[in-house]
Amino acid sequence: MTLAILAIIFGIFALVKSADLFVEGASGTAEYFGMSEFLIGMLILGFGTSAPELLVSASASIDGNGALALGNAYGSNIANIALILGVTAIISPVVIQRKIVKGDMPRLLGITILSACLLWDYSISRIDAWILLAVFFAFIVYAVKTGKSEPDKKAETDKEKEEKPIVIWKEIVKLTAGLLILVGSSKLLVWGAVEIAHILKVSDLLIGLTVVAIGTSLPELASSITASIKGNNDMAIGNVVGSNIFNTLAVVGLAGAIGEVNTEPEILYRDMSMVLFLTLLLIIVSFPFIRKPEGFINRYEGVVLLCSYIAYTVYLIATATGSAG
């Protein structure tokens, strides 16, 4: 018990520190190359923190457990929007640029609808998988071409560089070290929590649906909260959008390319429907209205997102427990 408690304490400390280092390195890298914070958040924070999901889903597909591969990807998407953005907005309201709300978010919705259509027959064939992967690579090319900083922001960035030159290798070291420690500390934290849960005789099912599910989202959660608190709102929202795009296209696509993935109807009707609902909800709550001239997720809307995640998790636990019984 003592070792597990120490693991949790050290894991939380390392998680916070590494998230700070990660975001600082990402911000410096974005500034050096003249890239927008949203692009860095999407490609590096979003894709980087979703690498574990890619490995888990690929391994599950190799072992013939396609349902786990899809559940991992879509479950992560649900946590990204409802848990991560919800908690982030509650701690520090998230301001979102109009072009992100009206451009990148609808693209995320389109990608989610595409995935749902391909999953309509409860399977991801190799053809479906290659379609997803092709869209993924096309999206990366598009994002990189259009993701440069705005001219006026670029001018400000160049002026700041003259005053305080950025040493790019130091920023990359911060970025890489921050990401590695971020993932490692989250695993340590999950291990400690699972050990304590076992000592308290909590069931493996409940541990999997709560501790492990939330634990795998800790890197995204820590980096999004840190980015938002530091004022890097574009980076925080880019983290979530990028992670969901990566999961939907690359994670599911790779799993299907390894071998055709056949799954249960629940993944389409329950999990994919939840992803679609949350993606639509995200666009609605962040859309610029008269009272919100800019895209903005306030604390009340953050509570709505978080409550959606809690309701979904409670439903999962209730139905899984009922099935087990």
pLDDT in tens, 54-89: 776 777 778 777 777 787 788 889 988 999 999 999
Question: 37-147+204-324 has which fold?
Answer: A middle domain of Talin 1 (1.20.1420)
pLDDT in tens, 100-122: 888 888 999 999 999 999 999 98
| pLDDT of 31 strictly over 70 | yes
CA dihedral (196, 199, 205, 206) in degrees, to 10, reads -50
Q: From CA 101, how far away is CA 103, in angstroms rounded?
A: 6
**Once rounded to an integer, what is the mean pLDDT over residues 138-154?**
68
Provide the residue type at 44 as one letter. I
Answer positive or negative: Cα dihedral of 112, 69, 54, 77: positive
